[in-house]
């Protein structure tokens, strides 16, 4: 097992380099970068302040000024040279400056990380601590009214994207009923609360609707995965043999069926690390949650390439480490992996 995990760790470096080279090259070749955005803004201001006939004849910037701007944003270098320079700086957690806000990218990500970690952590724990018992109970009560009714709700929730559910929830509970706020992470007067519990209540009040959107998709997947694997395990020969030899059904389920049913769930465990980092872009946009998801969405729309690359780099590392954690979880549950079977 040690050699296996060492090989997996060794693959992290070339995989990371390959993904980041691809994304870095795409950001360079996609039109509409920071220089083009600045030129469009200058031309728009000129067209508003001048007559139409004069605006078309005016040049926004000279060739020397354009060259200085390209050098300032690092766009005058070849892609591979610029990527190598970015990679060396990234080793010291220097992701460069945002071309939109002119702030360090690392500081911008760290400022928004607590918000995304809150939603990611709550989503992670609620998904697993509700989905596993629910899938377990649905497998034991397969075909019952509870199983059929809950399956209908689960499939409806799975079919609806989280951002669609978010629009529906805001329209009903925020706009019409006014039970919950329209968005945001906290209220405007959050700092004026004297009690800590008032602040906690305010955060939870704002988090109710977004958490429903975060949970709905992953919750449905985990629940049905747990149920289907539990039913498959219960129909296995060794479970029937254990019951035929006199082992109580409940004991056979707890000692044998449950552990083997958790193997597919464990393989998904490490990938949930992304919840702690980015959450969902569109859900944060809909609810105006100032997290990393909203930052990434705005950076893509504004062609803020240093921020995009910083978020991609962190997500890539988390995804690869998550896969290794998933393998470790599977190894702890399935002894066949430890013995090389």
Dump the DSSP string for 90-150: HTTT---B-TTT-SBHHHHHHHHHHHHHHHHHHHHHHHHHHHHHHHHHHHHTTTSHHHHHH
The reported pLDDT for the residue numbered 279 is 61
pLDDT in tens, 264-309: 777 777 667 666 666 677 888 888 888 888 888 888 888 888 888 8
For Cα atoms 164, 169, 174, give the angle at the middle one, nearest 5 degrees: 140
Question: Given a cut of 60, is residue 217 above it in pLDDT?
Answer: yes
Reported confidence tier of residue 59, pLDDT bands at 50, 70, 90 = low
Stronger pLDDT, 229 or 55, i.e. the higher one: 229
Tens of pLDDT, residue by residue over 97-136, are 888 888 888 999 888 888 888 888 888 888 888 888 888 8
3-class DSSP state of 341: coil
What is the DSSP-derived secondary structure letter of residue 246? T
- What are the tens digits of pLDDT across the range 135-169? 888 888 888 888 888 888 888 877 888 788 888 88
Measured between alpha carbons, how far is 175 from 152 in angstroms, rounded to an integer? 27
CA distance 224 to 241: 26
Q: Cα–Cα–Cα angle for 125, 121, 275, nearest 5°? A: 105
Is the per-residue pLDDT at 201 higher than 80? yes
User: Over 60: is that where the pLDDT of 57 sits?
Assistant: no
The pair phi, psi for residue 97, each rounded to 5°, is -105, 145
Per the listing, tokens 């270098």 go with 77
| Whole-structure pTM value | 0.78
pLDDT band at 263 (very low <50, low <70, confident <90, very high): confident
* Calpha distance 162→169 (Å, rounded): 10
Note the helical H segments in the chain: 2-10, 12-29, 34-49, 52-55, 63-72, 79-90, 105-140, 145-159, 162-169, 196-234, 237-244, 249-252, 258-261, 263-269, 273-277, 281-286, 292-301, 305-333, 335-338
Write down the pLDDT at residue 191.
Answer: 76
pLDDT for the residue 335: 67
Cα 290 to Cα 88, 112, 115, 276, 286, distances in angstroms: 29, 7, 7, 14, 11
Max Cα-Cα span within the chain: 94
| The two structure tokens encoding residue 277 | 């980092």
Using CB atoms within 10 Å of the CB of residue 246, give its burial: 0 to 12 exposed, 13 to 18 middle, 19+ buried. Answer: exposed
């Amino acid at each position: 097992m040690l050699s296996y995990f060492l090989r997996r760790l060794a693959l992290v470096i070339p995989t990371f380099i390959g993904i980041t080279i691809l994304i870095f090259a795409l950001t360079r070749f996609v039109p509409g970068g920071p220089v083009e955005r600045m030129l469009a803004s200058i031309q728009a201001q000129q067209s508003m302040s001048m007559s139409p006939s004069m605006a078309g004849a005016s040049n926004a910037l000279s060739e020397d000024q354009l060259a200085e701007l390209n050098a300032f944003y690092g766009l005058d270098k070849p892609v591979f040279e610029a990527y190598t320079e970015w990679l060396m700086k990234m080793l010291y957690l220097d992701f460069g400056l945002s071309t939109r806000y002119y702030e360090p990218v690392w500081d911008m990500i760290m400022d928004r990380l607590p918000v995304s970690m809150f939603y990611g952590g709550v989503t992670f724990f609620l998904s697993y601590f509700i989905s596993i018992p629910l899938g377990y109970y649905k497998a034991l009560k397969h075909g019952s009214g509870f199983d059929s009714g809950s399956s209908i709700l689960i499939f409806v929730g799975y079919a609806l994207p989280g951002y669609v559910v978010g629009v529906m929830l805001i329209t009903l509970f925020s706009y019409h009923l006014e039970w919950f706020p329209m968005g945001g992470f906290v209220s405007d007067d959050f700092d004026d609360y004297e009690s800590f519990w008032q602040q906690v209540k305010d955060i939870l009040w704002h988090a109710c609707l977004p958490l429903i959107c975060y949970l709905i998709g992953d919750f449905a997947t985990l629940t049905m995965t747990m149920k289907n694997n539990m039913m498959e395990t219960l129909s296995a020969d060794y479970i029937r043999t254990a019951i035929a030899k006199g082992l109580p059904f409940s004991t056979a389920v707890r000692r044998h069926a449950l552990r083997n049913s958790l193997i597919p769930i464990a393989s998904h465990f490490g990938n949930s690390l992304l919840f702690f980092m980015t959450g969902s872009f569109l859900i944060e946009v809909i609810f105006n949650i100032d997290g990393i998801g909203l930052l990434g969405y705005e950076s893509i729309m504004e062609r803020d390439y240093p921020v995009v690359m910083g978020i991609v780099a962190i997500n890539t590392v988390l995804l690869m480490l998550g896969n290794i954690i998933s393998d470790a979880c599977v190894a702890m549950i399935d002894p066949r992996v430890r013995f090389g079977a």
